[in-house]
């Protein structure tokens, strides 16, 4: 079944206290390449049937009216997720051990 992904972020002009806290933690850990973090929300909606323009329009309405607070958040993306195929073989089998080391 197809999955539609909706991404919601705080408005750019608003402070993001969670993101600021994570950015501070990164700095304390010595991860100095990263100067900012913003934290948002991701919704994954599984669709029974094909994803049509009507389904996408309905999801857009849900995103605007239910998944986000338009006063403080923006819907930044709506996309159809590509299905992820399960591996056909054990990825650890070629290493010879369960922890991936030889």
- Write the pLDDT tens digit of every residue in 60-75: 999 999 999 999 999 9
Q: Based on the structure, what is the number of domains in the chain? A: 1
CATH number at residue 26: 3.30.1280.10
Task: Determine how many CB atoms are found less than 10 A away from the CB of residue 35.
Answer: 8
Is residue 87 included in any domain, yes or no? no
Question: Is residue 91 situated within a structural domain?
Answer: no
Q: Is residue 102 part of a domain?
A: no
- Does residue 93 lie in a domain region? no
- Residue 94 pLDDT > 50, yes or no? yes
The Cα-based distances of 93 to 74, 84, 86, 98 in angstroms read 44, 21, 15, 8
Can you give the residue range of the structural domain that contains 32?
3-81
Q: Which of 72-76, 81-85, 97-101 has the lowest mean pLDDT?
A: 97-101
pLDDT band at 102 (very low <50, low <70, confident <90, very high): very low
90: pLDDT strictly greater than 90: no
């Amino acid at each position: 079944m197809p999955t539609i992904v909706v991404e919601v972020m705080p408005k750019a002009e608003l402070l993001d206290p969670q993101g600021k806290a994570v950015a501070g933690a990164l700095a304390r850990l010595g991860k100095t390449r990263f100067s900012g973090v913003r934290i948002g929300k991701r919704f994954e909606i599984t669709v029974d049937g094909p994803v049509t323009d009507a389904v996408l329009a309905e999801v857009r309405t849900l995103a605007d009216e239910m998944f986000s607070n338009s006063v403080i958040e923006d819907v930044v993306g709506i996309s159809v997720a590509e299905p992820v195929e399960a591996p056909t073989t054990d990825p650890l089998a070629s290493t010879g051990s369960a922890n991936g080391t030889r």
